[in-house]
Amino acid sequence: MDYLIPILLFVGLGLLAGVLLTVFSRVFAVEQDERAVQIREVLPGANCGACGYAGCDAYAEVVAGGARTNACIPGGDAVSRKVSAIMGTAFEDVVEQAAAVRCNGSCGVTGTRFAYAGEMSCAACSRLYGGQGSCPSGCIGLGDCVKVCPFGAIAVKDGVAVVDRSRCTGCGLCAAACPKGLIEVFDATQKVEVLCSSVLPARATMAACKAGCIGCKKCERACPSGAIHVQNNHAAIDHSKCTGCGICAEGCPTHCIQIL
Amino acid sequence: MTEMLAILFSAILVDNFVLSKFMGICPFIGVSKKTSSAFGMSVAVTFVMVMSTLLTWPINAYILVPADGSHDYGYLRTLTFILVIALFVQLVEILIKKFLPPLYKALGIYLPLITTNCAVLGVTILNIDSGYDLGQSLVNALGAGLGFMVALLMFSGVRERIERADVPKMFKGVPAALVAAGIVAASFAGFGGLVENLFG
């Protein structure tokens, strides 16, 4: 008897616990849309927010509720295809996006105005007289964009952030993190971009950086499709007209127009 | 009343569960990286400590070791308490998930961590070993939870500073955190004798 009662007591307690848990999990079960769970599994899971929702979980729920299936830009067509298969709707193309840093002022072509020794972040540095670089609109190069990129697609090379197009998914987190607003996200099929954001007059741009856009209008004249216009001393490409022929890049005297 | 206050402050400062008794080190190191999650975790721990004391004290006093001395199953205490605490935490998790989704999102990830937390089991067993009645046990559990919160919040402040400091490479991360934990624990030794002199 000395052994029996404790054993029975414990078995009873265990059984009670098991029954209680089973009953509770049945009675108070939270109904979750099965499709939302499946969709969550096929999403990339980077929680980047490029779809416009708070993260992959949030997007999976709204898709199950009928939102469009092609909003996941990092996932691209492959994910869109899987999601529309789960939802049983027609497949829609994802407009793939990619980012580009509109500055190519590497260490060799531009200098610094002062030596910065504070917090190693672009946001902090740019608050100190607009950063240490001699060009007021140039890349600071302390890598705030590198820190936020969930895909490791951006790196600071020779003082300038450079996007690796093969890894970039176009989520736009880097564009939001750049205190200079240098990073643009556009249609991934577009390959030509002016890698300079300077709007200073030609002489001032030349003094600050040898690779800057001086607004000479050579590209504007060369472009066969009328996609480039110089405004505010700075060439800008209209991506809806650009055919990617690259004639402008060949003629650019400072080589700031590049084929990515 | 004075006795209750003495138990409460002794549990928070002098016999701090994390820094003097070295219980609950896993969440102490694991969840102290950010102040916000440290706060969520310690609220959940405090709640579970008080509620599981409320459950385990009667089980010990009326089932395992009844006052009439008919039997003594004290050796079943650890097993029974683990079972009861785990059951309770799971039930609470199911209920919160159903009725308070925002709270579940804030606490939910911490609740399973608490299920087998030694600080929770420790407080229930130490209550029995210290011979506390139900009221004293509850106050002690509350104090233990608050002490856990004090330790975690304080340490998360320390951790956030360590993250930004220029620590030698071999000490980066957990090693530096453990060294800092030792210093914080040593500073808590300064509270020794406080309660006896205040409430004694």
Residue B146 predicted with pLDDT over 90: yes
Query: What Cα–Cα distance (Å) separates residue A38 from each residue in A33, A80, A220, B98, B147?
Result: 9, 13, 50, 21, 42
pLDDT at residue number B135: 92
| Dihedral (CA of B38, B42, B48, B49) sign | positive
Q: What is the mean pLDDT of residues A230-252?
A: 87
- Beta pairing class for A154-157 and A192-194: unpaired
Q: What is the mean pLDDT of residues B48-70?
A: 88
The ipTM of this complex is: 0.71
* A66-80, A134-148, A198-212, range with the lowest pLDDT: A66-80
Q: What is the mean pLDDT of residues A212-225?
A: 89
Q: Is B105 part of a structural domain of the chain?
A: yes
For residue A184, report the phi and psi dihedrals to the nearest 5 degrees.
Answer: -115, 140
pLDDT at residue number A32: 73
Q: Is B196 part of a structural domain of the chain?
A: no
Is A10 close to B76, i.e. CB distance below 8 A?
A: yes
Residue A1 predicted with pLDDT over 70: no
pLDDT at residue number A40: 85
Residue A42 predicted with pLDDT over 90: no
Is A20 close to B87, i.e. CB distance below 8 A?
A: yes
* Domain segments of chain A as ranges: 34-87, 97-259
Q: Which CATH superfamily is domain A34-87 in?
A: Electron transport complex subunit B, putative Fe-S cluster (1.10.15.40)
pLDDT at residue number B200: 64
- Residue B54 banded pLDDT, cuts 50, 70, 90: very high
Is B83 close to A17, i.e. CB distance below 8 A?
A: yes
Higher per-residue pLDDT: B26 or A126: A126
For domain A97-259, give the fold. Answer: Alpha-Beta Plaits (3.30.70)
Q: Is B184 part of a structural domain of the chain?
A: yes
Structure confidence by residue, pLDDT tens digits, B89-108: 888 888 888 887 777 776 66
Q: Which residue of A has its CA nearest to B65?
A: A6
Strand (E) or helix (H) holding B130? none
Q: What is the mean pLDDT of residues A147-153?
A: 88
Encode B63-76 in three state secondary structure: HHCCCCCCCCCHHH
How does the average pLDDT of chain B come out, rounded?
A: 86
Q: Which residue of B has its CA nearest to A26?
A: B94
Residue B141 predicted with pLDDT over 90: yes
Q: What is the mean pLDDT of residues B76-80?
A: 88
Q: Which residue of A has its CA nearest to B97?
A: A30
Domain count, chain B: 1
Q: What is the mean pLDDT of residues A94-99?
A: 81
Structure confidence by residue, pLDDT tens digits, B21-47: 888 888 888 788 778 778 888 888 898
> Residues of B with CB below 8 A from A5's CB?
71, 73
Give the span between the Cα atoms of A192 and A243, in whole angstroms.
9
Domain that holds residue B123: 2-190
CA A136 to chain CA mean position, Å = 23
- Are domains A34-87 and A97-259 of this chain identical in fold? no
Give the span between the Cα atoms of B198 and B200, in whole angstroms.
6
Q: Is B34 part of a structural domain of the chain?
A: yes
Residue B109 predicted with pLDDT over 70: no
How does the average pLDDT of chain A come out, rounded?
A: 86
> Residues of A with CB below 8 A from B94's CB?
21, 24-25, 28
* A27-31, A181-185, B5-9, B157-161, range with the lowest pLDDT: A27-31
Q: What is the mean pLDDT of residues B57-80?
A: 85
Q: Is B197 part of a structural domain of the chain?
A: no
CA A196 to chain CA mean position, Å = 19
> Residues of B with CB below 8 A from A118's CB?
none
Question: A15 to chain B nearest CA, in Å?
Answer: 11
- Residue A80 banded pLDDT, cuts 50, 70, 90: confident
Which residue of B87, B88, B90, B96 to mutate against A (max A Cβ within 10 Å)?
A: B87
Instruction: Give the DSSP letter of residue A68.
Output: -
Q: Is B19 part of a structural domain of the chain?
A: yes
Residue B133 predicted with pLDDT over 80: yes
- Residue A15 banded pLDDT, cuts 50, 70, 90: very high
Q: Is B127 part of a structural domain of the chain?
A: yes
Is A9 close to B83, i.e. CB distance below 8 A?
A: no
Q: What is the mean pLDDT of residues A97-122?
A: 88
Chain A residues with at least one Cβ partner in B under 8 Å: 5-6, 9-10, 13-14, 17, 20-21, 24-25, 28-30
B/e letters for B121-133, b = 16+ CB within 10 Å, e = fewer, are bbbbbbbbeeebe
pLDDT at residue number B134: 92
Is B87 close to A10, i.e. CB distance below 8 A?
A: no
